[in-house]
Amino acid sequence: MNNRFYSKLIFELSRPGRCGYSLPERAVDGYPVDLPQALRRQSPLELPEVDELTVVRHYTNMSNNNFGVDTGFYPLGSCTMKYNPKINEELAGVFAGMHPLQPAAESQGALHVYYELQRLLSEVAGLSEFTLNPYAGAHGELTGLMVMRRYHELRGDARRTRVIVPDSAHGTNPASAAVAGLQVVVVKSRPDGTVDVDDLRPLLDDTIAGMMMTNPNTLGIFEHDIATIAALVHEAGGLMYYDGANLNPLLGRCRPGDLGFDIMHINLHKTFSTPHGGGGPGAGPVGVRKGLEHLLPLPRVILDEKDNIYKVVAHDEQSLGQVSGRLGNFSVLVKAYAYLLSLGREHLKMVGPLATLNANYIKEKLKDVFELPIDGVCKHEFVFDGLKDKSTGVTTLHVAKRLLDYGFHAPTVYFPLLFHEAMMIEPTESESRETLDEFIAVMRDIAREAIDDPETVKTAPHHTPVCRPDDTRAALHPVVVWK
């Protein structure tokens, strides 16, 4: 393959007058193809002029440069990249021709999927009811916090404008709280990464609207004091919010609602089948305990048991209002529904244990060469603090870039912020032992290279289409146009 040719931009392949299509001046039915003069552009677009074969080859080869779940292993903590069964994609396509505003009488099949997914998620979460409207995890966070605010507003408790967030939380937690108009109060973590209950107690007063938590937390550690924490927050009049980003290891073992959480969001694209690397699509359904259902956003799908039909509720004075254009990212909802039905009650219980087993397997195999700041059993993910041998000058970023030469995607690096050289590894439950062993072997090879040949690691990657771009310059001075 001529790599020089295929590394060119489509504009560089352009030649004046070259064209990849031909259209008749008049259609078969006699209608003119060309637009009226009033509807035409005043100036031509500066588009590349290329033939069809060049276009096909260019974009095919560009796509081959992409790394995806279908091409390799993602040890990518904090944003699970899990295999999405292809049958789920096919089933989502069944509804592709439907319009979001199609009448309920003509959409009973789609509304059935929507309603049943609400019920399944409620069962999985141990909560009373879900809305599937939010478009992503952060959107779900915002919606859940709006439910929290609405709850206090309807009670006439206007003083509660602060929300407690652990210092190990995902960055979206404080951001969502701020957008929801809540003031963030940070609670510290103990050396083992769990919430410091003694630091929490003085923060609880009649201004606290609630507390956001991820369990297991961002370090992959299960919060064993969760019952105590929930009791303290509830006693102070606040609500408990569960960030569902780390729901994977809990599946089939325990439910957030049973742990004392009142509100939660689920990242369907993380836990139930739709990896969303690159920004979308996603879905962030929000669930609530009994007594809070009326606060959920509209529209809402209900089952009229008398007539045995599904209806869409568009008006409710106590609801927080509308958070999306209609009923959410429906294709993502269909995939999640298919995923849940495929696994069933029996096999869904295996997701959490397998995710936990895979993470602990990698951790134990590598902790002699990578720094493990918190030892002990983790859940679905864990965090290294760089290489054990710090004298080589090889950083976490160097290791991440070197992994690309071996055909592996890098894990999440420099997060959480509790450790200077953080490297978060999350294998997911769907990877085989052979894949994990290969990843472990490569990580050990890089640890050895860091000692024997550190410059090779520091200057990696060496075998990727683009090797070492200037990340800082790209962020500060991006070039997003051809000319």
Longest dimension (CA), the chain: 80
Residue 386 one-letter amino acid: G
Topology of domain 351-474 in CATH is Aspartate Aminotransferase, domain 1 (3.90.1150)
**Do 208 and 161 touch, CB atoms closer than 8 A?**
no
Q: Copy the structure tokens of residue 388.
A: 């054990």
pLDDT per residue rounded down to tens, the chain (483 residues): 445 545 788 999 999 999 888 766 655 444 456 667 777 777 878 889 999 999 999 999 888 888 888 888 989 855 566 777 889 889 988 888 888 889 999 999 999 999 999 999 999 999 999 999 999 889 999 999 999 999 999 999 999 999 999 998 888 899 999 999 999 999 999 988 899 999 999 999 999 999 999 999 988 999 999 999 999 999 999 999 999 989 989 988 899 999 999 999 999 878 887 766 556 678 999 999 999 999 999 999 999 999 999 999 988 889 999 999 888 999 999 999 999 999 998 899 999 999 999 999 999 999 999 999 999 999 999 999 999 999 999 999 999 999 999 999 999 999 888 899 999 999 988 899 999 999 999 999 999 999 999 999 999 999 888 888 888 899 999 988 887
Helix (H, G, I), strand (E, B) or coil at 130: strand
Cβ-based neighbour number of residue 364 at 10 Å:
15
Query: Where in the chain are the domains?
Result: 1-65, 98-346, 351-474
Contacts of 178 (CB under 8 A, 6+ apart): 184
The pTM score is 0.89
Q: In whole angstroms, give the CA distance from residue 95 to residue 91.
A: 8
What are the helix (H) ranges across 74-107? 86-93
The CATH number corresponding to 98-346 among 3.90.78.10, 3.40.50.300, 3.40.640.10, 3.90.245.10 equals 3.40.640.10
